[in-house]
Structure 1
Amino acid sequence: MTRTRTVGGVRGERDRIYVPYLLPALLIYTVLFIAPSAVTIWYSFTRWEGLGTPARFTGLANYRAMLTNPVFLTAFRNTLILVVLGGVFVFALTFLTMIVVREMRGRAFVRSVLFVPSILSPIAIGTAVGFLLNPDGALNRLLSDVGLHTLTRGWLGPDLIFKCIIAAVVWTATGFYVAIMMSRVDAIPEELYESARLAGANRVEQFRYLTFPLSRDAFSTGAVLWVIGSVKTFEIVIAFTGTAGTPPVQARSAAVEQYLAVTGGISGTPQLGSAAAVGVVMFLLTAVLVVTLRRLLRSEVVEL
């Protein structure tokens, strides 16, 4: 009983010390993040065309409209494809790079080069790749010059444009996740790899039984960051399709659809209630995917 009271007293004293330091941060976070989020949820149940116009409560009308709108469903499906398929490619390339680069001389330089695309502006990357893939762009010209004119395509056509966007996002993001994973791999003692090599393990087996288990926490963090970032994919789509007009339906993500609802898109009339509803759906999608990933990837902490 005495021990219980002692432990409780220590916790109470600790709480009294922490609370004064936490309150300012909690207050700022509430004002800047939680309160606006609550207001957004409220506006998602209204029809609101912006400042100076009344917000009329419409219940679930915005959500019902989304579920029956083929344009939004296409954008939502594209977002899911980007999150899942893009994530598979990003981390497959990341793991392959880890296997190759870990024992490479000058690996710090290689990692720096791989990291460069992730610090470039998505607008710049999207614009450059868009020019590259134009019907008269560098890629089709190169294919024609080397006698492979049968491989030329309308890369920015409806059937291929979102696949090209995914490829550009994967190329941009992979270096960032390589940096995250390699920072954890660098902390693994070299003696463990020496023992694995003496036991006859090749590079793939070293990765499977040593590198990945000891860097699983970094992979979990990277996967969560990928989900959060890919759900919000926006700038590169706008740059890919050009900012002069509305992006084609086949290229849209959920974030682009939200942007078009805010600006009015083709109609020219902003629908901020619909935009708020799209934001709520994006938040729910992110929350579900993050919780699922955390459950799938959770494991016992491995002490080195």
Structure 2
Amino acid sequence: MSTATAPGRPPAPGAHLARKKRLFFPFFLPAVALYVLFLLVPTVATVVLGFTDWSGAGDTPEFTGLANYSELIASDAFRYSFLNTLLYIVVGGVGTFLLAFLFTMVLREMRGGKVVRAILFFPNIVAPIALGMFFGIILVYRPNRQGLANYLLESVGIDAVKFLAPENITWVVTGCLIWASSGFYITILMAAVDRIPPYLYEDSDIAGATPWQKFRHVTLPLTWDVVGVAGVLWTISAVKIFELVFVLAGPGTYSPPIRSWTLGVFVFDRSFGDQGAPAYGTACAAAVVMILLVSVLVVALRRLMRRDVIQY
């Protein structure tokens, strides 16, 4: 004779929620501690040191008020650095996204588009220093032993160009950035395009829409939120440009000519340059300018890109 077992008592309402609450702080507190220790504290320290004169370990920071910021305003090196950084953000961003949108329109209907997408992404897995050395070999100006670019120009009867001269380096770095960065944003935009239902493009084809009309009225509106995020990522990365400029513009000395500097190079020079004792206070002030610049641009970009989400 078998005995029936009573079914288990169902869990009390809210028991699952209580267990989740108990797990919240063990996971949350370590993340907050790491965030405060490695991001918030250094940021606050940078802001504070921006108002001091400090030469590093062994020296006591001396409060100087706004003297470091006055020095920045009066410095030709800082003006070049600030304007070059803005140029990389604006011109480099426009060029990168134009190229990314162009490839997005082409790859969407192209056989083997995923393979091409992977190939275009390849420069993003190469270290920026290696890319700088690669472009330096191609663009070098050296009579009777030219780089590839000048060799091709001379082979068709055009005089060699000093691509890496201080007056040209900013535009050369901009072109290199566009070439190296486009694959990353093509991958992001193509991932957003892959979510768009195919029937929308089929309806567009039936209506006789051109590729530009399909991009303008279907692709762009339905990927607008992703485009906004990509724009923020570009702004943050462009403000920190350092390696390409340092490698391409460096004439073999410790730092490149000031006409080619970015804010990242300026901070490096004031911290580790060959100008004598380090000026960490000035470097921190320039770093604060970088933080303010990226904050203002990101907020402005997010407001500019704000739009109601389209459901599909």
- TM-score of the superposed pair, with normalisation by structure 2: 0.89
The one of 72, 75, 79 equivalent to 2:78 is: 72
Q: What is the aligned partner in structure 2 of residue 141 from structure 1?
A: 151
The one of 118, 121, 130 equivalent to 1:112 is: 118
1:251 is the counterpart of 2:257: no
Query: Within 2, Cα distance between the matches of 1:132 and 1:245?
Result: 22
Amino acid at match of 1:236: L
Show the 5 A alignment for 1:208-247.
208-242=216-250, 244-247=253-256
Query: Within 2, Cα distance between the matches of 1:15 and 1:291?
Result: 34
1:122 is the counterpart of 2:128: yes
Which one has the largest radius of gyration? Answer: 2
1:25 is the counterpart of 2:28: no
3-state SS of paired residue (1:113)? helix
The one of 273, 287, 299 equivalent to 1:291 is: 299
Show the 5 A alignment for 1:172-183.
172-183=180-191
Deviation of 1:90 (Å) = 0.5
Q: Does the 8 Å CA contact 2:121/2:183 hold for their aligned counterparts?
A: yes
**5+ long unaligned stretches in structure 2:** 1-16
Query: Within 2, Cα distance between the matches of 1:15 and 1:103?
Result: 46
Q: What is the aligned partner in structure 1 of residue 269 from structure 2?
A: 260
Query: Within 1, Cα distance between the matches of 2:198 and 2:247?
Result: 44
Query: Within 2, Cα distance between the matches of 1:139 and 1:249?
Result: 25
Q: What is the aligned partner in structure 1 of residue 11 from structure 2?
A: none
Show the 5 A alignment for 1:56-95.
56-95=62-101
Q: What is the aligned partner in structure 2 of residue 5 from structure 1?
A: none
Query: Within 2, Cα distance between the matches of 1:53 and 1:14?
Result: 52
**5+ long unaligned stretches in structure 1:** 1-11
Deviations 1:129-157 (A, max 9, x none): 112111122211211112223xx211111
Q: What is the aligned partner in structure 2 of residue 279 from structure 1?
A: 287
Deviations 1:211-258 (A, max 9, x none): 010011110110000000000000111111236432111211000000
Q: Does the 8 Å CA contact 2:165/2:249 hold for their aligned counterparts?
A: no
Q: Does the 8 Å CA contact 2:88/2:174 hold for their aligned counterparts?
A: yes
Query: Within 1, Cα distance between the matches of 2:20 and 2:55?
Result: 46
Query: Within 1, Cα distance between the matches of 2:245 and 2:164?
Result: 11
Q: Does the 8 Å CA contact 2:166/2:249 hold for their aligned counterparts?
A: no
Query: Within 1, Cα distance between the matches of 2:155 and 2:209?
Result: 46
State percent identity of aligned pairs: 40
The one of 43, 54, 59 equivalent to 1:53 is: 59
Deviations 1:23-67 (A, max 9, x none): 332222112211111111111110011111111110111011001
Q: Once structures 1 and 2 are overlaid, which stretch shifts more, 34-43 or 282-291?
A: 34-43
3-state SS of paired residue (2:166)? coil
The one of 167, 188, 197 equivalent to 2:196 is: 188
Give the number of aligned pairs. Answer: 291
Amino acid at match of 2:299: V
- TM-score of the superposed pair, with normalisation by structure 1: 0.91
Q: What is the aligned partner in structure 1 of residue 10 from structure 2?
A: none
Query: Within 1, Cα distance between the matches of 2:79 and 2:19?
Result: 50
Q: Does the 8 Å CA contact 2:104/2:190 hold for their aligned counterparts?
A: yes
Q: What is the aligned partner in structure 1 of residue 7 from structure 2?
A: none
Amino acid at match of 2:173: I
Deviation of 1:19 (Å) = 5.1
Q: Does the 8 Å CA contact 2:54/2:281 hold for their aligned counterparts?
A: yes
Query: Within 1, Cα distance between the matches of 2:162 and 2:38?
Result: 45
